[in-house]
Structure 1
C-alpha cells in the first residue's frame, strides 16, 4: 500500500465563532495589540489577503482543489490560530464548541481526505479538559491547536498540566501554532512580527516546555510544532551547553536536544538545506509536511520541496506521510467512517 501524502498544517475560518466575539472588549483589545505589532502596510495586506482567501478558508471544494494541485492526499485542518484566551468561561465554552463543531462538519464533507483539529480554552484548564474530551471522543477530531502563550501565561505553566494529561491519555495531537508575537512594536516594521516574531514565539514556548520539565511529566504528549519549530532546532546546541554548565538551567531531566526527538515538527522551513538540518537535529521520524495553506507565508509545492532535500527514500516516505499517519492513527477518537 502506498502511503498517502499528508499536510499537517491547514487552516479553517469559522465565521460563526467570529460573530460570537464581535463587539466584545476582549476582541477590541486583541485588535489593538495587533495594530501595535504591525505597520499600516502590513495590516492592509493582511486584510486584503483574508478577504481574497475567504473561499479557500471555508469552502471544502476549494480546499480539495488546492490539495489536488499540491499533490496532497490528506490534510490536517485546524482553526485559524486565534484562540481568544481572554474570554470568560461562558464565552470560551461557546467559542470552542462552535469552532470544534465547524471543523468537524467541514472535515465530514471529505472524511477520507480531511482530519480536524479543534481548540480548547486553555485559560480555563478544567473546562479545556472537558472540551478536549468532547472534541476527540464526541466529534471525532484528532486533537487541538494551541497558541504559544495563553493571555500572557506560558504553555509550560503547571496550570495546564490537566490538559496535557488528558491529551496524553487520548493520544491527541497538540499542534503549537503562534499568533502574533510578544515582542510587539519592536517587530512592527517590514512584517517582521510574522517573519521573525512567530518563529521566536515558538522557540520560547517550546524552550519553556523543555526546560520547565513539562515533557518529563508528560512523556507521551504528542506535540507538533508549526514552522519547523521556529529557531529552536537551529541553535539547540546553546541550550545543551547551558544545561551542562548552569545549575539554574537544569529544569529538565535530560539535555534539551533530546526533547527534539520527543516532539514533531512540520517541514515548513523553505529551503532544502533547512529541511536537511531539521531532519538531522530531530530525526526523520519526527518531521511531517506542512503547507500553512492557504496563506502567503505557506508553500504550494510541499512534495517538490521535500524531494529537493535529497533525503534517503525511507526518510522521504516518512516525512511525506508515514509519520503523520502514525500520529493520527493512535488517537483514541470517536469512530467515524474513515480509514485514518
Structure 2
C-alpha cells in the first residue's frame, strides 16, 4: 500500500453550504476559477477544483500510483485569530465533519483541526475527535492562531493528549507566517519562506523541552523538516556557544532529538530523501506529495524510488511507516 501523508482537501459540499449563508463568520462564493473563501481577519483565499472536488483527487492518485492519502484541511481555512472562541471551535468542528463525510475513497486517514483559544478545551476537543469520531491525528500550524509559537507553554495540555493518544501531529507552515516580514521575499514565499517558518518553529520546539516532557509525541514535519535536519550543526553550535545556550534541554545537543521526529519527502529531490533516511532511518521518513499544489512533488513515488534505498526502506517510506502511525493511534 502506497500512502501519501501530506495532502490538503477542502470538500466542495462544505463550501456550497457556506455559500448558502455565512457560517461562523466564514463566507464562500463560486467563481470560474474555483471558490473564494474568506475567514474573519483574512482576505479571500482561492480554493481550486483540485483541492475541493473528490474526482480530481482520485484522478491524481491513479496517475501517480498512490493508493491512499492522509488528508488534512488547507491551513488557510483553519480557524483564525479574528474569530470569537465560539466561532473558532464551531468552524473547526465543521471542517472535521466535512473531512469525515466527504473524503472516503482514496483516504487512509484524516487529520483533525482544533481551535486554540483555550488549550484545555482544544485538548478535550482533540480527544473527542480521535476517540469518538475516528479522526487519525492532528494538523497544527507552525504559526498557530492564539498562541505565540509552538513552544508556548499554554499548549502543554494539547501535547499531553496527543502523546497519550499516540497520534501523528502534522506541523505545517501557513501561507501568512512570520517570514512575510522579510524584505522583497514575496516571490520566494513558497520556495523558501515556508521552510524558514518551519525551521524557526521546529527549532523553538526542540529547545523548549517539549520532547523531554512528552517523549511519546509523534511530530511529523513537512517539506523535509525545512532547514533543520540539513543544517542541524548550526543549531547545535548556537546552543553551545550563542544566545540559544540559555535553553535547557535534557540531551547534549538539539540535533539529538532529530531521530524522534518524522519527515515527509517533500524536500523534492532524491538526494535529499536519501540524506533524511541516512540521518534518521526509513521508519521516520514518510511519502508526501503536498497535493494539490503545483510546488509539490509531481511524481512523489518516482522521487522516492530514485533515492536508491534498500527495498525494505523503500517500502517503509512509501507507506509502511505512515500506516503504522495511523493504526497505532488510540481509538474508541
Please classify the TM superposition score into its range, dividing by the shorter chain length.
Answer: 0.7 to 0.9
Deviating above 6 A after TM superposition, structure 1's stretches of 4 or more consecutive aligned residues are none
Q: Larger relative CO (CA 8 A, sep 6+): 1 or 2?
A: 1
Assess if the C-alpha contact under 8 Å between 1:181 and 1:194 holds in 2: no
Q: How many residues align?
A: 310
Equivalent in 204, 212, 215 of residue 216 of structure 1:
212
Whole-angstrom CA distance in 2 between matches of 1:17 and 1:207 = 38
Gapped regions of structure 2 (runs ≥ 5): 28-37
Show the counterpart of 1:178: 173
Show the counterpart of 1:29: 41
| Distance change (3 Å), C-alpha of 1:251 and 1:85 | farther
1:1-340 alignment, distance < 5 Å: 4-14=1-11, 15=15, 19-20=22-23, 21-22=25-26, 27=39, 29-31=41-43, 47=46, 50=47, 53-54=48-49, 56-82=50-76, 83-86=78-81, 87-107=83-103, 109-110=104-105, 113-151=107-145, 153-179=148-174, 180-186=176-182, 189=185, 191-246=187-242, 248-254=245-251, 255-334=253-332
TM-score (normalizing by structure 2): 0.87
Whole-angstrom CA distance in 1 between matches of 2:196 and 2:179 = 9
RMSD between superposed Cα atoms in Å: 2.3
Whole-angstrom CA distance in 2 between matches of 1:306 and 1:67 = 16
- Structure 1 residue 28: Cα displacement: 5.3
TM-score (normalizing by structure 1): 0.85
- Structure 1 residue 325: Cα displacement: 1.1
Whole-angstrom CA distance in 1 between matches of 2:183 and 2:309 = 35
- Structure 1 residue 189: Cα displacement: 4.7
Assess if the C-alpha contact under 8 Å between 1:187 and 1:197 holds in 2: no
Q: Secondary structure at the match of 1:62?
A: helix
Q: Secondary structure at the match of 2:197?
A: helix
Whole-angstrom CA distance in 1 between matches of 2:245 and 2:3 = 40
Whole-angstrom CA distance in 1 between matches of 2:202 and 2:2 = 27
Gapped regions of structure 1 (runs ≥ 5): 35-45, 335-340
Whole-angstrom CA distance in 1 between matches of 2:87 and 2:41 = 16
**Cα deviation 1:284-311 (Å, max 9, x = unaligned):** 2110010011111112311110011111
Whole-angstrom CA distance in 2 between matches of 1:139 and 1:29 = 29
Q: Secondary structure at the match of 1:253?
A: coil
- Structure 1 residue 30: Cα displacement: 2.6
Assess if the C-alpha contact under 8 Å between 2:71 and 2:107 holds in 1: no
By percentage of residues, which structure has more helix? 1
| Distance change (3 Å), C-alpha of 1:322 and 1:207 | same
- Structure 1 residue 239: Cα displacement: 1.5
- Structure 1 residue 27: Cα displacement: 3.7
Q: Secondary structure at the match of 1:233?
A: coil
**Cα deviation 1:239-292 (Å, max 9, x = unaligned):** 122333457244221121121111101000111111122222222211001001
Whole-angstrom CA distance in 1 between matches of 2:300 and 2:319 = 11
**Cα deviation 1:190-215 (Å, max 9, x = unaligned):** 52122111111111111111001011
- Structure 1 residue 238: Cα displacement: 1.4
Q: Secondary structure at the match of 1:30?
A: coil
